[in-house]
Amino acid sequence: MKLTLGFSPCPNDTFIFDALIHHKIDTEGLEFDVIFDDVETLNQKAFAAELDITKLSYHAYGYALKDYVLLNAGSALGFGVGPLLICKKEQDLSNPNLKIGIPGKFTTANFLLSLAYPHLKNKEEIVFSAIEQKLLNDEIDLGLIIHENRFTYQDKGLIKVKDLGAYWEEKTQCAIPLGGIVIKRDLPQEIKQKVNKLIRKSVEFAFANPASALPFIKTHAQEMEESVVYQHINLYVNKYSLDLGNEGKKAIEMLFNQAFDQNIIPKTNQSLFLEQ
């Protein structure tokens, strides 16, 4: 059986999926047709239910619950992993007219920005890798950065305004749910369970053989410096990537409850998590 699988070219995703798609583990009869896209493009594909399995932002998951259910393996959650709000020069954050470059309307980063600064609504959607340059060109006042840009913005003379991950942690005492792996609800339960098991095995293989995926990772990584690649992986791939567990599920439920309360995402009766 062949399934379509979408994930980003970022090091955490290529690290997680390398063993799965390159048959370094037994895929038990499943084949995967891989689609690489930035996370906001994957979010949009999820809204259109284009792929069988896909990475998406947790914010976006709120709009895709009808078609998808969350797997327990493959997620990006953690402490100290949140998006950063940065600038080129000091800004008055009380000014509602500030123009902010965001990596996508439905990213979890934008969700956290909306929680922290609900009055800042003048937003421009920009591919995450181009936000720093837009700031340097004075095309935007603030930039919301994710992924490996966390490790490079200071080298370009840019300044941190707010760590939105730290804001979330202080507010909730929970890990930050950034992105998850979802699968079509209408697939057979045995296939959903098998895919979940295989993704976990792929993560386990990656942890046991961290250098194995490096050629694949570097083929797709925006920042080619090996130190940056491993910083990225160490930040986003952890115990929650193996299995959400009770802590991970609690954090995701917290995010959804906050989003429901503030009408950031529509309320639903759909189950969030794959049945065990």
The residues assigned a catalytic role are 147
Where does the chain show beta strands of DSSP type E? 2-7, 31-36, 53-57, 68-70, 76-78, 84-87, 100-102, 123-125, 142-145, 159-163, 176-184
- Residues in the annotated binding site for substrate: 55-57, 108-109
HSE-up (13 A, CA, CB side) for residue 207: 15
- Residues in the annotated binding site: 55-57, 108-109
> Which strands, in side-by-side order, build the sheet including 159-163?
123-125, 100-102, 142-145, 84-87, 159-163
Q: What is the CA radius of gyration of the chain?
A: 18
